[in-house]
Structure 1
Amino acid sequence: MPDGEDRQIGVRNVQVKIGDIVARKSYRLDLLFRVIDVIKNDNGEEIAILHGDEVRLIADANCNDLVVVDEKEKNSRKVKERELIEQSNDLFRQDYQLLREKQEYYATSSYSHNEEFFHIPGRVLHIDGDPIYLKKCLELYSKIGVPVNGVHVSEKEMPDKITSLLDKYRPDILVVTGHDAYSKHKGGIDDLNAYRHSRHFIQTVRNARNKNPNLDQLVIFAGACQSHFESLIRAGANFASSPSRVNIHALDPVYIVAKVSFTPFVERINVWEVLRNTLTREKGLGGIETKGVLRTGMPYKKHNQQ
């Protein structure tokens, strides 16, 4: 075996560069990260800026603490990840089918007839600080049929841009997410200065609520890994992360807002029913009682094709 390589865990001690998928030795290789930048600190040491590969966490690490993960190890972890995602997809499909059946029952007052229905799910505006995660989310929205507009905006720019984006897209549901992290070395758990981007998410939610204060006319999900959950809810978010300051999965916001998008506007959403479809559940996500935004109409007329 070549020096500096461990084929059992699929990592290599090599020079770290931007774009590499890496893991941290000091954290026993628990998570995979993408290297988005490499800088030098005041001591001349190379420090890598890291974005979680599957979780919405931002971190930095000394390059000497990092190992590059090979394709075999990445693929092995991806298989496990796909299994978790498919479990959430199955739960969501079951919920959606029940929602459709119940809504059609109420719409017809339980009478049988031959007319067909059409559904208008809630429109989503998803602004994301990570373009790669945004692409993953947009693919899942498309797969499950949620109408969405996605915009990549850096976390620091979100508060200034949110009002114009709301004017442009006029969504029923707003997602404000990207990367975040809590550092106990920078302050206590309630000190916003100890969080990488929570204050930017919080101000974005406040600005959105100034534009639309009704919690049921604009439903907001906000936050990322380890975000300050309580402040996000107080700022006006319906759903947020992270109650236990844990990492959340890149796709968790999609499962939250899809449930809202496909729940009829005459129904209130049970928070646990929303969280059960996510990959992180109640430790990473929480929220308040909220109305759905889907509307059902009839009749649905199919146009004859010439």
Structure 2
Amino acid sequence: MNIEINDVVGRLSYQCDILFRVIDIRMVNGQKTAMLYGEDYRLIADAPFHDLKKMDPRERDRITREFRNLEEQSFDLFKQDIELLKHKQEYRVTNAYREDYNYFQVPGKVLHLDGDPSYLRKCLDLYEKIGVPVKGIHCSETEMPNRIGPLIDKYRPNIIVLTGHDAYTKSKGGKGEINAYRHSKYFVEAVKEARRKSPHLDQLVIFAGACQSHFESLIHAGANFASSPSRVNIHALDPVYIVSKICFTGFKDSVNVWDVIRNTLTGEKGLGGIETKGVLRTGMPFKITDDQ
């Protein structure tokens, strides 16, 4: 079979339900094997060549179109949430619209570390569309524990995202064993390093994890939100929706966990967390000086 790096394939044993990019090809136990990254899900996998099907453009377009429709639905619901949050803040600042205050808002700053440069670009595009201040850095999952501390010192974020690819491998142990997961232990160590810098859960908000990640370990390490409670796949853009909701929630208000995850593409099986305060701050006056 003529499969090369960067080809888009499906796994026959899974009815080609998920599109993957081939990122590496190697021999494993005498079999030609491809290392795969999910195109829309934050999943890493490997499969022998005999289990792969190179997807033709028509099949790719059909599957991709289904995902894009889901993304658009999720984004529309998310925009409604953000508009409601903005109206709530305006109502509060203007004393129930009785005062004509000229105010401004400062959403939280996000530091997003992603193990996949393609997903990072997609996420940065969505952050920009929503209006979230963000610094995005491509960083392999294994390097995140070493890099997160200096990056916190450099960028001083309000929110951190630690994501990329992950996968649970049944042959390596039960679902409670951290070593049965491809990258969960690195996400856990990175969260612990971040918490050494900022122990308070509301002073630094952390999202951590990818597809099938060890949710309990990430929460116990100090993450506010994480994946994946039911060890299912999560969508590439789900972390953006979660942290953006926190960015536009006032710092006096708590973010209800269900309110955060209900409009994500994955939902409560793939995402969870703990009650967390928002990070948006309102100031006044917003004045343009004569020399501007």
TM-score, structure 1 normalization: 0.93
Please point out which of 22, 25, 44 is paired with 2:9: 22
Structure 2 residue aligned with 1:4: none
Answer yes or no: is the 8 Å Cα contact 2:94–2:100 preserved in 1.
no
2:249 equivalent to 1:263: yes
Q: Distance in 2 between matches of 1:190 and 1:73?
A: 37
Q: What is the aligned residue count? A: 292
Structure 1 residue aligned with 2:52: 66
Answer yes or no: is the 8 Å Cα contact 2:94–2:101 preserved in 1.
no
2:68 equivalent to 1:79: no
SS at match of 2:161: strand
Which amino acid in structure 2 is aligned with residue 158 of structure 1?
A: M
2:18 equivalent to 1:31: yes
Distance 1:303 1:66, change over 3 A: farther
Q: Distance in 1 between matches of 2:48 and 2:94?
A: 63
Q: Distance in 1 between matches of 2:29 and 2:239?
A: 37
CA shift for structure 1 position 83: 1.1
5+ residue gaps, structure 2, are none
TM-score, structure 2 normalization: 0.97
2:137 equivalent to 1:137: no
Please point out which of 173, 183, 186 is paired with 1:187: 173
Distance 1:295 1:33, change over 3 A: same
Q: Distance in 1 between matches of 2:77 and 2:102?
A: 26
Which amino acid in structure 2 is aligned with residue 21 of structure 1?
A: V
Structure 2 residue aligned with 1:204: 190
In terms of Rg, which structure is larger?
1
Distance 1:111 1:249, change over 3 A: closer
Once the two structures are superposed, residues 109-163 of structure 1 have per-residue CA deviations (whole angstroms, 9 ceiling, x without a partner) of 3252333321100000000000000000000000010100000000001001110
Which amino acid in structure 2 is aligned with residue 103 of structure 1?
A: Q
Moved more, 111-120 or 145-154: 111-120
Once the two structures are superposed, residues 181-226 of structure 1 have per-residue CA deviations (whole angstroms, 9 ceiling, x without a partner) of 0011110011111100000000000000011000000000000000
Q: Distance in 2 between matches of 1:277 and 1:131?
A: 25
Answer yes or no: is the 8 Å Cα contact 2:207–2:225 preserved in 1.
yes
Q: How does 1:71-150 map to 2 (within 5 A)?
A: 71-150=57-136
Ranges of 4+ aligned residues in structure 1 off by more than 6 Å: none
RMSD: 1.2
2:165 equivalent to 1:173: no
CA shift for structure 1 position 278: 0.5
2:206 equivalent to 1:220: yes
Structure 1 residue aligned with 2:27: 40
